[in-house]
């Protein structure tokens, strides 16, 4: 997909809990419930960045990705990084030219118009939103263990594409790929 996912229902039509305040987000994280939100509960920011989802929504048996798409695996992200010069360089070509706090020289002209990462930031398990315009976080389809799952992070001030594990209750952007 060329943009971050921005849906409030699962593939089967059931609603995803839309957390419109920090307390609701923290409740979902604490109880392992699927949830989504707009950054800072602001619909304007949501229209720019797409929704943030916790990993419980990503991993739901109801399916977060639209029909014909899936959440990328670690292997898919590794393949993309290698095609763009490795994890040390891939971040620069994946970033959009808009919204990043440091636009030069850490954002190169995107060579891949199918993926222009916007710095949507994240929502921590406690409901606090942070790092918009500085970081982009994306969920990977795989959990590490009961509390953590894999994610991707792009930083404003470098060209890294970082893969590591994060708490499942955090809210990250989601990009889907063709199934």
Alpha helices, H only, 31-150? 43-49, 55-58, 74-83, 90-94
Give the pLDDT of residue 128. Answer: 98
The span from the CA of 160 to the CA of 144, in Å, is 22
What distances in angstroms separate CA 133 from CA 20, 22, 48, 83, 144, one per listed residue?
A: 21, 20, 11, 26, 27
Its pTM stands at: 0.94
Give the pLDDT of residue 101. Answer: 87
- Closest among 43, 41, 9 to 24, alpha carbons compared: 41
Give the pLDDT of residue 104. Answer: 45
Give the pLDDT of residue 71. Answer: 97
Residue 43: both structure tokens together: 């619909």
Task: Please confirm whether the linkage preceding 105 is cis (ω < 30° from 0).
Answer: yes
Give the pLDDT of residue 70. Answer: 97
End-to-end CA separation in angstroms for the chain:
11
Residues of the chain with pLDDT under 70: 102-113
């Amino acid at each position: 997909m060329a943009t971050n996912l921005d849906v409030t229902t699962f593939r089967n039509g059931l609603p995803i809990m839309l957390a419109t305040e920090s307390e609701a987000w923290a409740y979902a994280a604490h109880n392992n419930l699927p949830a989504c939100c707009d950054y800072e509960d602001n619909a304007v920011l949501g229209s720019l960045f797409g929704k943030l989802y916790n990993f419980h929504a990503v991993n739901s048996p109801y399916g977060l990705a639209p029909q014909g798409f899936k959440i990328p695996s670690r292997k898919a992200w590794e393949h993309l990084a290698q095609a763009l010069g490795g994890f040390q360089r891939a971040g620069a070509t994946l970033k959009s030219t808009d919204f990043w706090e440091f636009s030069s020289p850490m954002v190169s002209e995107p060579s891949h118009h199918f993926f222009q990462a916007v710095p949507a930031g994240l929502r921590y398990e406690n409901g606090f939103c942070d790092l918009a315009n500085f970081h982009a976080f994306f969920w990977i389809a795989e959990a590490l263990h009961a509390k953590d799952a894999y994610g991707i992070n792009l930083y404003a001030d470098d060209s890294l594409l970082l893969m590591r594990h994060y708490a499942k209750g955090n809210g990250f952007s989601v990009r889907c790929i063709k199934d």
